[in-house]
Amino acid sequence: MSGHLPVMLAEVLATLAPRDGATYCDGTFGGGGYADAILQAARCTLYAIDRDPEAIARGAVLAARHPGRLHLVEGRFGDMLPLLEARGVSRLDGVVLDLGVSSFQLDQPERGFSFRADGPLDMRMEKAGRSAQDLVNSLTESELADMLFTLGEERHARRIARAIVAARREAPITTTLRLAEIIRAVTPRDPSGIDRATRSFQALRLAVNDELGEVERGLAGAVQLLAPGGRLVVVAFHSLEDRIVKRFMAQAAGRAGGASRHDPGALAHPAGTAPFRLLTPKALRPGDAETAANPRARSARLRAIERLALQDAA
């Protein structure tokens, strides 16, 4: 699928290890890169979930290429359990999640995810619900500052929030470039070279789409669906998302305490009887060749766990 480069594809396939006759779920279908590769690697069945209606529409071409084996499901991967159970699927041999925004979404100015080109301040993956424009123009200065600091890890959150509130008194903030210009005008250059608007846009996107909550719900649903030998493979790009994945997988493998608030008890177990094993004691990172060819891969981290058979977990 042109325009989309699936990140760490070789590592994802090697870790997931697709096999004939098995059933998998790609919870973040996006451009279909992982899905296509999994279906080519084995004579398996794949359920592909995406909350973006445009991604589901694009997937029709891929579904036609793999008749009867690719099933497209519109919805959130955080709702994986009920979405698949409604289709008669109660067990999976593997789940792959590629967290964050897709290349297609970033590259469409009209979706409002990026400040590289001017567009409406939207950022809604589902094209429904509150948009980034709604948040920027309605949240209080304190709420804006808290969001930018917590979700964007933005050191200048209070200064940016103050500038946003002052600017919107003159006229509502409705475009990506206007918001980016407001942020750049009140913040110093970042020594790393990252655009000064990056962290604020990231925070807004995470808030609009409840992406961190989605990650926690999706992980909890995935482990409930995995059959013995089934693997959960997650590629994260954002430090907050990766932290959630790292903690969740450590708990699943019995290496950490403190259950997630979204964990429905699937990971509760006495010490030494963990139902999962870590396949990646340390996160896998993309190689130099991939990051040179695809700069968006730079921050990627791959983590994975495998459900053990009952006798192995005992």
In the chain, where are the structural domains located? 9-104+212-313, 108-209
Is the pLDDT score of 156 beyond 60?
yes
Percent of the chain exceeding pLDDT 70 equals 87
- Confidence at residue 265, expressed as pLDDT on a 0 to 100 scale: 43
- Confidence at residue 255, expressed as pLDDT on a 0 to 100 scale: 82
CA distance 186 to 160: 7
Give φ, ψ of 175 to 5 degrees.
-125, 155
User: Of 167 and 238, which is predicted with more confidence?
Assistant: 167
Segment 139-153 shows an average pLDDT of 96
Percent of the chain exceeding pLDDT 90 equals 69
Q: What is the pLDDT of residues 210-233, one digit of tens each?
A: 989 999 999 999 999 999 999 999
Q: 278 - beta bridge partners? A: 305
If you write DSSP's letter for every residue of 120-152 in order, what string do you get?
BS---SSS-S--HHHHHHHS-HHHHHHHHHHHH
Averaged confidence pLDDT in the chain: 88
CA distance 148 to 159: 10
Q: What is the pLDDT of residues 42-68, one digit of tens each?
A: 999 999 999 888 889 999 999 999 999
CA distance 199 to 197: 6
pLDDT band at 103 (very low <50, low <70, confident <90, very high): low
pLDDT band at 127 (very low <50, low <70, confident <90, very high): confident
Dihedral sign, CA of 186, 189, 191, 192? positive
Asked if 9-104+212-313 and 108-209 have one fold, the answer is no
- Confidence at residue 223, expressed as pLDDT on a 0 to 100 scale: 96
Helical packing angle, 176-185 and 198-209, nearest 10°: 130
Q: What is the pLDDT of residues 241-293, one digit of tens each?
A: 999 999 999 999 998 654 444 444 444 444 445 799 999 999 999 999 998 99
pLDDT band at 190 (very low <50, low <70, confident <90, very high): confident
Is the pLDDT score of 1 beyond 50?
no
9-104+212-313, what's its fold?
A: Rossmann fold (3.40.50)
CA distance 124 to 269: 38
pTM value is 0.86
User: In the CATH scheme, what is the homologous superfamily, with its name and number, of domain 108-209?
Assistant: Putative methyltransferase TM0872, insert domain (1.10.150.170)
Segment 100-122 shows an average pLDDT of 66
Q: What angle do CA 141, 243, 229 make, to 5 degrees?
A: 140
- Confidence at residue 46, expressed as pLDDT on a 0 to 100 scale: 98
Q: DSSP 3-state assignment of 22? A: coil
